[in-house]
């Protein structure tokens, strides 16, 4: 299972000035330079087989902050998109120069940016091709870090978080981590917009809270013995194991406690919620995990031995059947969980915490996209006690980050 950790470079002077820099080789801002120490401390502890950077200095300097003994390799294919005549303009200037042209370039993905630049489809093809080539080089369990740019990352994320008439996820922030894992022969988004090295609540979360947008924090429960044994828990009522309890405590030490906490009634979620809550926990039945029917408590080989044809139909051919004959379909889980989340009374001024399950959280995030994804296979299941923030805006839910868990890194 190769892994690629993508990072957007630290803040550049153009970012600070509100200028679209594209291929312009601008320096880091003073603030950008100051953020490199925290990023470096976090990432130097990770054992990357290779560190790769865009050729632009804002990416190269960011990569150098954590590369350690690795020599930073320069890959031209990870350079920022070509913005044409819009390079060096502010957003306001771009809108005055060609607002309708920009809208068409973004919605159709076939119109060159700034008249003479790249199309979003061209950037996407370039980025995906480079990413797949790197994954092949890494082999079965290699791990690479790639420092690149916000526009290019948008095209990679499009494969996992494509919106319909609007973008359903926030723009990738400076120094944010987004991770792709290969599983069952395909890339899956494991982490998006992780700024945990800057604190438990990113500036995006604070910005939406201060602007009166409710923010929901979806937290997966801590580890259970069933997780260790590879059992399909479903709605089986497993409790936390020793590591799961330590994960929950580490979550609290990093994220803090909050006053409005909802939870699935299943033991592993409720026990995790008890750690996080400062004012009690409200159980909501529809926050339960996918019902697995006769598969609950069994391992994948045990299920495949008896229901191999059904597993093949669901997971290889994309037919959304009820799990375990008598359980739920993925579509039923998605509708139930999404309705439950959207019906919650949210808290003002702080995230509303929802402690639930990996499959349920993955189904919710996938439901925000325009992808035809029968069991959210474009996403990797969020790690135990990871946090996913969603802002409930007037235009609809906006994914701010996905599966953020810096508190687990010291436990690996």
- Over residues 191-249, the pLDDT tens digits come to 999 999 999 999 999 999 999 899 999 999 999 999 999 999 999 999 999 999 999 99
- Over residues 98-110, the pLDDT tens digits come to 999 999 998 899 9
State whether 97 and 223 are in the same domain.
Answer: no
State whether 120 and 233 are in the same domain.
Answer: no
State whether 191 and 212 are in the same domain.
Answer: no
The reported pLDDT for the residue numbered 208 is 97
- Over residues 20-35, the pLDDT tens digits come to 999 999 999 999 999 9
The reported pLDDT for the residue numbered 373 is 86
From residue 170, alpha-carbon distances to 160, 204, 323, 393, 400 in Å are 13, 8, 33, 12, 5
Mean pLDDT of 294-298: 97
State whether 168 and 225 are in the same domain.
Answer: no
State whether 155 and 245 are in the same domain.
Answer: no
Catalytic residue among 160, 208, 221, 407: 221
CATH code assigned at 279: 3.40.50.1240
Given a cut of 90, whether residue 185 has pLDDT beyond it is no
Which of 162, 196, 230 is the C-terminal boundary of a domain?
Answer: 196
Which of 154, 181, 196 is the C-terminal boundary of a domain?
Answer: 196
State whether 386 and 238 are in the same domain.
Answer: yes
Catalytic residue among 289, 357, 389, 407: 289
CA neighbours closer than 13 Å in the CB half-sphere of residue 198: 20
Alpha-carbon distance of 130 to 128, in angstroms, equals 5
Mean pLDDT of the chain: 96
State whether 287 and 374 are in the same domain.
Answer: yes
Q: 230 φ, ψ to 5°?
A: 70, 30
Given a cut of 90, whether residue 411 has pLDDT beyond it is no
Mean pLDDT of 161-187: 93
State whether 82 and 210 are in the same domain.
Answer: no
State whether 324 and 184 are in the same domain.
Answer: no
The reported pLDDT for the residue numbered 412 is 67
- Joined tokens for residue 163: 């919106």
Domain that holds residue 53: 3-196
**Cβ atoms < 10 Å from Cβ of 410:** 8
Instruction: Report the Cα 403 to chain-centroid distance in Å.
Output: 6
Note if 221 is an active site residue: yes
State whether 49 and 22 are in the same domain.
Answer: yes
Q: How confident is the model at residue 390 (pLDDT cuts 50, 70, 90)?
A: very high
Q: 186 φ, ψ to 5°?
A: -145, 155
Which of 196, 224, 254 is the C-terminal boundary of a domain?
Answer: 196
Q: What is the largest CA-CA distance in the chain?
A: 63
Q: How confident is the model at residue 302 (pLDDT cuts 50, 70, 90)?
A: very high
Mean pLDDT of 41-66: 96
Note if 93 is an active site residue: no
- Over residues 342-373, the pLDDT tens digits come to 999 999 999 999 999 999 999 999 999 999 88
The number of domains in the chain is 2
State whether 364 and 406 are in the same domain.
Answer: yes
Q: Which residue has the tokens 């969603």?
A: 390
Given a cut of 90, whether residue 298 has pLDDT beyond it is yes
């Amino acid at each position: 299972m190769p892994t690629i950790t993508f990072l957007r470079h630290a803040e550049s002077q153009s970012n600070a000035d509100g200028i679209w820099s594209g291929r312009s080789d601008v320096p880091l801002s003073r603030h950008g330079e100051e953020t490199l120490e925290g990023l470096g401390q976090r990432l130097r502890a990770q054992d990357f087989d290779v560190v790769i950077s865009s050729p632009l200095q804002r990416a190269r300097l960011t990569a150098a902050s954590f590369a350690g003994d690795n020599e930073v390799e320069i890959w031209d294919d990870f350079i920022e998109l070509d913005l044409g005549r819009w390079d060096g303009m502010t957003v306001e200037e771009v809108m005055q120069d060609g607002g309708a042209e920009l809208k068409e370039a973004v919605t159709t993905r076939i119109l060159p940016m700034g008249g003479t630049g790249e199309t979003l489809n061209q950037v996407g093809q370039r980025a995906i091709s480079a990413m797949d080539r790197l994954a092949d080089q890494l082999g079965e369990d290699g791990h690479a870090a790639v420092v690149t740019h916000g526009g290019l990352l948008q095209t990679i994320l499009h494969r996992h978080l494509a919106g319909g008439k609007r973008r359903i996820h926030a723009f990738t922030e400076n120094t944010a981590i987004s991770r792709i894992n290969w599983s069952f022969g395909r890339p899956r988004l494991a982490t998006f917009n992780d700024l945990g090295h800057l604190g438990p609540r990113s500036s995006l979360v604070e910005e939406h809270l201060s602007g009166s947008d409710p923010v929901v924090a979806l937290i997966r429960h801590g580890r259970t013995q069933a997780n260790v044994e590879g059992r399909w828990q479903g709605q089986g009522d497993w409790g936390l194991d020793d590591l799961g309890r330590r994960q929950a405590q580490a979550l609290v030490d990093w994220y803090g406690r909050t006053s409005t906490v909802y939870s699935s009634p299943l033991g592993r979620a409720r026990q995790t919620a008890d750690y996080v809550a400062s004012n009690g926990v409200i159980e909501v039945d529809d926050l339960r995990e996918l019902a697995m029917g006769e598969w609950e408590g069994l391992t994948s080989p045990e299920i495949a031995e008896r229901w191999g044809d059904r597993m093949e139909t669901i997971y290889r051919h994309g037919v959304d059947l009820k799990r375990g004959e008598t359980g739920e379909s993925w579509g039923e889980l998605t509708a139930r969980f999404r309705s439950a989340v959207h019906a919650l009374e949210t808290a003002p001024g702080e995230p509303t915490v929802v402690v639930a399950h990996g499959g349920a959280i993955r189904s919710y995030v996938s439901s925000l996209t325009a992808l035809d994804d029968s069991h959210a296979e474009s996403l990797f299941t969020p790690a135990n006690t990871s946090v996913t923030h969603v802002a409930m805006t007037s235009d609809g839910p906006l994914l701010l980050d996905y599966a953020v868990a810096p508190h687990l890194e010291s436990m690996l």
